[in-house]
Amino acid sequence: MLRMARWVLIYLLGFLPQTFLLLYAALGLVGARAGSRRLAVPAATLGLVALMLRPTLSQGWYIPVSMAILVASLMLFRLASTLEAVAAAAIGFILIAAGDLFVMAPTFYLLGFSYDQVVESPRLYVVFGSLEGTFLAVAALLVRVKAVTVVSISRWEKVLAQRRAGK
């Protein structure tokens, strides 16, 4: 029972918020903005999938499998076209990697925690997972407040369609 409560805590405070931020920020940055209500079910579903995949896949396979699932889910939930989904997944994972490299890893090192300590403590797991999402949170704020878009994929798709049609 205690183990189950631990995973529920990690899901609710760690995976769910980060997955929501990933969807919101990444889709917004590629010009495929979606509202909070529209992202609730996909975020809950993808967060649960990520929670189940993390312990079962080896570290080398977790990222590519997660990216493929994210791309497929963005299309399945009709949040993005194929090109938007691929671009959003790439941008989202780059933001997570940046959070790992520039925020989480230095904090991890400076505080002197071992990997096992973090994995065994639900609180530390959630805290370090939140640090990992620092750049996602900043990007989500920029999308929300300033309507920042890195590249408008839908505009590119229209231009490509016009070129194919000879216009």
Buried-state track 81-113, b at ≥16 Cβ within 10 A, e below 16: beebbbbbbebbbebbebbbeebbeeebeeeee
pTM: predicted TM-score of the whole model, two decimal places: 0.89
- Greater confidence (158 vs 10) lies with 10
Residues 111 and 140: their CA atoms lie apart, in Å, by 28
What pLDDT score does 130 carry?
A: 93
What digits encode the pLDDT tens for the residues 36-57?
A: 999 999 999 999 999 999 889 8
At 31, the amino acid letter reads G
Sketch the domain layout of the chain as residue ranges. Answer: 2-165
pLDDT > 70? residue 2: no
